[in-house]
Chains A and B, each alone.
Chain A
């Protein structure tokens, strides 16, 4: 993974939540979507994606159902729960505050 695309700690959860807010997706779909949306700037490693999915499922932010993929295979589709939606809102607000604060420092002109 390229150095500039390394994720900030905790940002992966937010990205997954945001991705799922557009509709249910399987794990590969989530990774793909993030990659596509960022024009390959962000690549999600499997080693962090799947444990994150299971962890979030346990927290009740997302839930999974078996479905059939575009390649006709049984696969788990993840979707956002109402708890997950609330969590996403919270994290977006935090992210906005955080980036605003960081921007202030980085682009301060004297």
Chain B
């Protein structure tokens, strides 16, 4: 299309408004008339002339139709070309305009990038955790079933109860049971500890999962009490251990000494809690103990049955069973929860939704701020707009042009925001993956991308519409001078800014508290030292290590070999490594003080340890002695207790030589030593009472070996493997890692919280500062005339600066006051996630308030200095 003047273009618009039919008709009629005239001038009678002209013209209808058709297509083409030309002009104009004011552009882009980046990042979290469907068939119909006791709503199920449920419950179309299994894979290379699950054959059809290779179990392979030795592999296991070998089906694997045939491989997308490496058939037996609760049970709701109805039915079945088997099922009930509640949890859902709401608010604040900036700019560009209008640009055209500018801004901001998201996502995944369900699969998928694009389009339109509307108003000057509506709009803007400052303060206080709490948590003394300690798990199979002495001999030999390695300072064994996620505890009674009631039974955590355990993890002896090599199976039973336990059980007395009985068993255990407290479950909790038993008197079949050495802990991994395989080449060594990794994993949840709060707070801070800046700058532009008058009347620039800054600080102060009040009011919700910091910590509140005041001052001084530099003469003339 040729580029035409505005005037021509306007004309053509009007021209197009003539329907193409009339255009063609009138043109052809004119032609005909002219021909008739021609012939009449040559001497024909008018009637003859007309007939001759028509004759000469040819097929009138065909020509008319051809022209109309061409005309219609011409109009379409022209409209499209016009639209594209205008768009190109608008885009070029927008980019030129943005480049002309780099300060404004940078600030607006920063705001948008923060808003869109933060919201897209939070959305990606919500997407990974909540929105992404579970990889099962109709996951909303899957439920998890539990037995219940008066104190627990989520107890595992016994085999006979599962079988009875399966027979009686109508509201569930399918039921499946599963239970964890230990399995070590023997064969080529080192033995490997595997994560196995035994499941009833009904599980895979229930989940709607088909194998990619081979088949899954059938009912014959799960005959009651006699499961077949077949396994189905996970995709990851097939790939990593067997290199994706397509001939894997039919191969046999040596699992803990028995041979199993591989019958299938599950698809790659299939995930299941615990990430099992392989599956074996489970055959629940009616002959099993009815009070041995081990099974996890899931079900699929029958068509049209709700979770509530299934729960009612399950409860009534549980009541029937309680009546039938009062001894084992007396107090037991049943519970049904949705798959989502099982795998995500109600609490997490609420938290993620709250995050989404907060981030939506943040995005909205970003829109308001950019709209304010644009308004300030639009007012400054009023003259330019008037000129454009005078040159013939329609109001719609100007509005569209401004909107294009906003969208260009939004798109560039969004692009930066998405880059920020791509930077944040891996960090969040690494930090939160271990602590938050499903977050390990956090990624930027099409949902996240569409959200980012949608959010930026929406923001572009939202923040672009106010300035566009204002600019397209009939007479900007009139509106500005008339005052009323502008003042109202100004008040609205002030309220929004005050709100955003208050919100920023609340978020900053939250972030400050969480940050301080996290810092304290990281410095908490958990009572042992992880530096230089290597940890690995060893499991002794019952077949070869059935007796206490066999086990004790193995651990003693392993310790003897390892401690001989150069650089190794201590080698300890324990059944539970600190922060490894497990715990063992037992009820006990102090001898001489028998409990009157069951409630009076005391309880403490216990660990079975070797003598060198204390040296390996650096737990210090306070009094008496440690567990010794001489505390063998037949020797008198001894315990070493923690200081907390000593204080709790024998306050004011000397615990050494005192005795306890465990779990109602009359054999007494004598206290021989007292050691320092450790925290080994949750960082935030005060140390619990703990007792240490001799590994020779309580030799556990699965132990952690902890090796303290000089140098890098992981360098010990091959040494530990070599030495253990030198004793028994069939033992798997698993979970090899530095002990410090357990501590950092346990800190993952608080670190994630701190990170999220930090992300929010920094975004909120930027938005609040930009908001203040935008509003103050707008105020300065609006009051150019007034400032000019005051300067002309002799006001000093410093007074002008003072006045402007006061306005900015006034708004900020108002926001800060409201924010402080809100943060205080909300503090009780924070206390739950804080450690060693009160939710009303004055230092944090003051620091945050000071930070905001400083930022608000900086944001006000910039436009204030511009105001003071105004040339009074020009300021007055410009109006």
Contact = CB atoms under 8 A, between A and B. Distances in A.
Contact of B27 (A32, A47, A58, A75): A75
Interface stretch (B59-67, B213-221, B330-338, B859-867): B59-67
A25 interface: no
B81 to A, nearest CB: 8
Contact of A28 (B34, B66, B70, B73): B34
B71 A54 contact: yes
A27 B27 contact: yes
Residue among A50, A60, A63, A73 with the highest chain B CB neighbour number at 10 A: A50
Given A45-B58, A50-B67, A58-B73, A82 B31 contact: no
Contacts of A57: 74
B74 to A, nearest CB: 4
Interface in B23-59: 23-24, 26-28, 30-31, 33-35, 37, 56-59
A10 interface: no
A51 B70 contact: yes
Contacts of B842: none
B74 A73 contact: no
Interface in A14-54: 26-28, 31-32, 45-47, 50-51, 54
A81 B4 CA distance: 10
A4 interface: no
A83 B11 contact: no
Contact of A75 (B30, B56, B58): B30
A66 interface: yes
A55 B77 CA distance: 11
B57 A66 contact: no
A6 interface: no
Contacts of B488: none
Contacts of A54: 67, 70-71, 74
Contact of B2 (A45, A73, A74, A83): A83
A12 interface: no
A83 B2 CA distance: 7
B77 A66 contact: no
A73 B70 contact: no
B30 A50 contact: no
Residue among B26, B33, B74 with the highest chain A CB neighbour number at 10 A: B74
A47 B248 CA distance: 78
A46 B57 contact: yes
Interface in B378-429: none
Interface size class of B (residues with CB under 8 A): 20 to 34
A60 B63 contact: no
Given A69-B30, A73-B30, A60 B1 contact: yes
B59 A47 contact: yes
B63 A47 contact: yes
Interface string B670-707: 00000000000000000000000000000000000000
A76 interface: yes
B342 interface: no
Contact of A50 (B2, B26, B27): B27
Given A51-B63, A83-B2, A46 B70 contact: no
Nearest to B73: A58
A64 B2 CA distance: 14
Contacts of A45: 58
B59 A58 contact: no
Contacts of B58: 45-47
Contacts of B1: 60
A75 to B, nearest CB: 5
A71 B31 CA distance: 12
Contact of B70 (A55, A64, A81): A55
B2 A60 contact: yes
B61 to A, nearest CB: 11
Interface string B12-28: 10010010000110111
A60 B1 CA distance: 7
A64 B24 CA distance: 12
Nearest to B31: A28
Given A65-B11, A65-B15, A51 B26 contact: no
A28 B58 CA distance: 15
Contacts of B66: 50-51
Nearest to A49: B31
A74 B70 contact: no
B538 to A, nearest CB: 83
A46 B15 contact: no
Contacts of A50: 24, 27-28, 31, 63, 66-67
A28 B38 CA distance: 11
Given A51-B63, A76-B23, A81-B2, A46 B31 contact: yes
Contacts of A63: 12
Given A65-B11, A66-B15, A83-B2, A26 B30 contact: yes
A26 B23 CA distance: 13
Nearest to A64: B15
B17 to A, nearest CB: 11
Contacts of A82: 2
Contacts of A28: 30-31, 34-35
Nearest to A76: B27
Contacts of B11: 65
B67 A58 contact: no
Contacts of A47: 57-59, 62-63
Contacts of B31: 27-28, 31, 46, 50
A64 B62 CA distance: 22
Interface string B104-119: 0000000000000000
A58 B62 contact: no
Interface string A69-97: 10101111000011100000000000000
A26 B74 CA distance: 18
A75 B31 CA distance: 10
Contacts of B18: 66
A81 B2 CA distance: 8
Nearest to A48: B63
Given A47-B62, A58-B77, A60-B1, 19 more contacts: A28-B31, A32-B34, A46-B57, A47-B59, A47-B63, A50-B27, A51-B63, A58-B73, A60-B2, A60-B81, A65-B11, A65-B12, A69-B30, A71-B34, A71-B37, A73-B33, A75-B26, A76-B23, A83-B2
13 contacts: A27-B30, A28-B34, A46-B28, A50-B67, A51-B66, A51-B67, A54-B70, A60-B2, A65-B12, A65-B15, A66-B15, A73-B33, A75-B30
Minimum-distance CB pairs A-B, first 4: A54-B70, A58-B74, A28-B34, A28-B31
Interface of B: 1-2, 11-12, 15, 18, 23-24, 26-28, 30-31, 33-35, 37, 56-59, 62-63, 66-67, 70-71, 73-74, 77-78, 81
